[in-house]
Amino acid sequence: MTDLSPRHVLVTGAARGIGRAIAAGFVAAGERVTVLGRTPESAARARSELGAAHAVAADVTDAAALERALTQAAAQAGPIAVLVNNAGGAETAPLARSGVDTLRRMMALNLEPVLVAARAVVPGMKAQGGGRIVSVASTAGLKGYAYVSAYCAAKHAVVGLTRALALELATTGITVNAVCPGFTDTDLVGSAIDGLTAKTGRDRDDLLTEFTRHNPMGRLIRPEEVADAVLWLAGAQAGAVTGQAVAVAGGEL
């Protein structure tokens, strides 16, 4: 891969949670970071607070809008050398309340943007002699969890897409990997617990205890721990690592 340090790194879903921690890690490493948020306001706020170089906005479920945002980012800061697909979300529901529409929403939010973004950035990466694509999947992409069947299906699909693209791009200098966090201390997990409480009637504290029980370390993962794994996969030292789904889960699986 051509040395274009600092590299242009784009992180989707960078306004909060794991994405924010990932963007902050790349900024601290001296990379040229573009944060992509759902709205111009959230993206601009994240750029300012993190000290990132640029900000763009798009609803990642809108393929055309995502493509425009990636084109805008490349025009502002040069070809994207590292793409981090972090934007995503979950819906909780028992099977009786999960329909095809639920599955389509989860695929549109968690899977489709990974394909759209990869198609947009790979030509520029090839022109640079290589690049890094890292997607934030989940342990739900490696195993099942009750009440989030559509989300599990979407995250399993992200892992499958990652492995397939890694093989397709193996001779180009582009590596494609996923990180699979366990339950992480973010508002997404908080919202999931609230949703389960509302839909199942179970006590919130009991659900939080159950979430931490999944982790043999007995705690939630910190966003910064996920970010560290992403930064490693994006580094030169991981040049031979591709097609992998790296669990950051305290030994869960």
Which of 147, 151, 183, 211 does the annotation list as catalytic?
151
Q: Tokens 């300012």 correspond to what residue?
A: 48
**Crossing angle for the helix pair 223-233 and 17-28, nearest 10 degrees?**
50
- Burial (CB < 10 A; 0-12, 13-18, 19+), residue 105, is middle
Which backbone phi and psi does 114 adopt, to 5 degrees? -65, -45
Taking residue 157's Cβ as centre, other Cβ atoms within 10 Å add up to 19
Residue 75 DSSP one-character state? H
Q: How many CB atoms lie within 10 A of CB 124?
A: 17
147 is catalytic: no
Q: 50: which residues sit within 8 A by CB, 6+ positions away?
A: 14, 20, 23, 24, 27, 33, 35
- Positions annotated as catalytic residues are 151
